[in-house]
Amino acid sequence: MYFSNTDIKKTLEDFLLENNMLTYDSFVGRVYNFCRSLGFEPGKILPSRAFCSDENQGYPIILIAKHFGTFPFNHGRVGGTVSTDRHGPHAEHGKDLLIIHASHVGYDPSSRIFGTYHRRHTEDCEKTPSCGKIYDVLEWYLKQYTFAKDNIFLDRHGKDLRVTIDNQILNEDKTDGLFLNMEKIVGTQRPGEFRPIKSYSTSQCYSASQEFCELMGVATWSSHERRSIGNKLLPELFNFKWHSAGDSETHGLLEENLLRPMPWIVSSPYPLLTAAQANIQVEFDRSFRTLVNADGYHGKRVVFISCLNIDISPSEDILFPLTKTVPWAAFIQHENGSSVVLEQQDLMNRLLEQSQDNPDEVDLEHEIQNMKDTQEIKIAKV
């Protein structure tokens, strides 16, 4: 997968939020004009959305319908994974084809915290995790990480800097859980041999390695009092194993996407934001490779854009979320089969070159009234 042989930290850092956000109405207008600049024909463009099923993704869908004059095809699953098995039907239904893919994360402007969203339709306008599906995947990993933070201890014995680790964390026979990169933490005489200097009833004490001491900083052991490692349990120091049974909604794909970057996700100040971002990066890579090999798209104009949707909880007098989006990358295929991938900054530059005003924008209220005014068509068997 995307994170297999790359520096995960660098990959995540290359997804830039600052100076790359657009309000959703501005984004969709620019995407429409961008498609037109590529030769897409008005009235023959079939957009598709690959969004989570969350109700706060409805506003972006309305705007897509308004700008493109049709309700978008559905390529999405909960959590923001792409149903690549729907390429064929999508290609059949339109001449020029657009797919907008996004994972999403909530944002509470009052607390300035990512990962929550006020559900105005609940009895007390409750604040819940958003994306809820991503949170469901993360919850088990976050508990494992919290346990490790609270049950790995650092202390000093004279000049000897020590680390004491709970036996549950050390258990190498467990089939799933958090596993420490012991070679980075424990001082050894021989590679792969980690001998405790003292055993306790539920934990083992080791001499800390030089690398670990440098990573923690000597000031961490400034007193003889034993203290938990807490937030100094950095993502380089552990990984996860999890034998997921999958689920009927994503077939385990979302969890598979997040497993390798999971140490960086759970240790992030905003785990849901980092997880959504990581999923976008993996899904763009995966979906791009299916698009170039999909027979239905051959000989057609295609644009595929992956984004992060940020759902800003609305105030009481506003009906829909004030959605912003952060474009990540785009795949463009021309009618003659030539294609190009636009990275984040190139994509932003191309979008900003376009006007956000769409001359072909549909007046939805007018069109709905036309439908109401149309003489009723009786349905009958021949």
- pTM for the full model? 0.92
Residue 258 placed within a domain: no
Q: Do residues 281 and 233 share a domain?
A: no
Q: How high is the pLDDT of residue 28?
A: 97
Cα 74 to Cα 107, 232, 241, 281, 367: the distances in Å are: 25, 42, 33, 20, 22
Q: Do residues 105 and 19 share a domain?
A: yes
Q: Do residues 158 and 118 share a domain?
A: no
Residue 38 placed within a domain: yes
Q: Do residues 101 and 78 share a domain?
A: yes
pLDDT in tens, 1-24: 567 656 899 999 999 999 999 999
Tokens of 179: 């596993």
Residue 253 placed within a domain: no
Residue 65 placed within a domain: yes
Q: Do residues 175 and 220 share a domain?
A: yes
Residue 98 placed within a domain: yes
Give ∠ CA 141-124-23 in degrees, rounded to 5: 70
Total domains in the fold of the chain: 2
Residue 251 placed within a domain: no
Q: Do residues 19 and 120 share a domain?
A: yes
pLDDT in tens, 142-199: 999 999 999 999 998 888 899 999 999 999 899 999 999 999 999 876 666 788 999 9
SS (H, E, C) the chain: CCCCCCCHHHHHHCCCCCCCCEEHHHHHHHHHHHHHHCCCCCCCEEEEEECCCCHHHHHHHHHHHHHHCCCCEECEECCCEECHHHHHHHHHCCCEEEEEEEEEEEEECCCCEECEEECCCCCCCCEEECCHHHHHHHHHHHHHHHHHHHHEEEEEECCEEEEEEEHHHHCCCCCCEEEECHHHHECCCCCCCCCCCEECCCEEEEEECHHHHHHHCHHHHCCCCCEECHHHCCHHHEEEECCCCCCCCCCCHHHHHHHCCHHHHHCCCCHHHHHHHHHHHHHHHHHHHHHCCCHHHCCCCEEEEEEEEEEECCCCCCCCCCCEEEEEEEEEECCCCCEEEECHHHHHHHHHCCCCCCCCCCCHHHHHHHHHHCCCCCCCCC
Residue 78 placed within a domain: yes
Q: How high is the pLDDT of residue 274?
A: 97
Residue 2 placed within a domain: no
Which of these, 11, 14, 249, lies nearest to 134 by C-alpha position? 249
Tokens of 13: 């850092």
Q: Do residues 15 and 126 share a domain?
A: yes
Q: How high is the pLDDT of residue 317?
A: 75
Place of tokens 């140490």: 263
**Beta carbons of 86 and 75 less than 8 angstroms apart:** yes
Q: Do residues 230 and 146 share a domain?
A: yes
Q: Which domain holds residue 293?
A: 8-131+270-373
Which of these, 105, 133, 106, lies nearest to 252 by C-alpha position? 133
Q: Do residues 91 and 20 share a domain?
A: yes
- Choose the final residue of a domain: 197, 223, 241: 241
Q: Do residues 216 and 275 share a domain?
A: no
The parts of the chain modelled with pLDDT lower than 70 are 1-2, 4-6, 189-192, 243-251
Q: Do residues 178 and 237 share a domain?
A: yes
Q: How high is the pLDDT of residue 194?
A: 85
Q: How high is the pLDDT of residue 192?
A: 65
Q: How high is the pLDDT of residue 359?
A: 93
Q: Do residues 125 and 154 share a domain?
A: no
